[in-house]
Amino acid sequence: MLLGRRLEVTNSDNATHNVHVFYSKPRAVGSDNWSQKPGARDPVIVENPELPLKIGCEIHTWMRAYVFVMKHGLFAVTSKDGAFSLPALPAGTYDVIAWHEVYGEAKQKVDVKAGETKSIEFTFEAPKK
């Protein structure tokens, strides 16, 4: 998500939720934790980059989302098989970072020439116990 864009937290359930946004920097009191009634649609504007911004429900702890808020639009979400693409990427050298909720980050440096297509693969290591 691009920095400064509106993110809408929607409750499409028949239950009340307690939305908690875990910002990396403190914000105004009450701006990061609120009760949300069924059918509610609450806007969230993220003012600083967050990599990732965790949003969860304090009542239903299995309900959570992760949103990456960046200054640039160079990002992708993987398909079910893990594939992704960054079309029309300008020529240059990039640090490509893949992130997983359990396995963390994997990074690769990639050089891209104008009009070039590259393939990369990421391998994650199991978390240390």
The domains found in the chain, sorted by start residue, are 6-69 (2.60.40.420), 78-129 (no CATH)
| Letter string b/e over residues 94-117, b meaning 16 or more CB atoms within 10 A of that residue's CB | eebebeeeeeeeeeeeeebeeeee
Residue 24's pLDDT band (cuts 50, 70, 90): confident
Amino acid at 54: K
Nearest to 9 by CA among 48, 51, 37: 37
Q: What is the mean pLDDT of the chain?
A: 90
Taking only the tens place, the pLDDT of each residue in 47-101 is: 888 889 999 999 999 999 999 999 988 899 999 998 999 888 899 999 999 999 9
CA 70 vs. chain centroid, Å, equals 9
The pTM of this model reads: 0.80
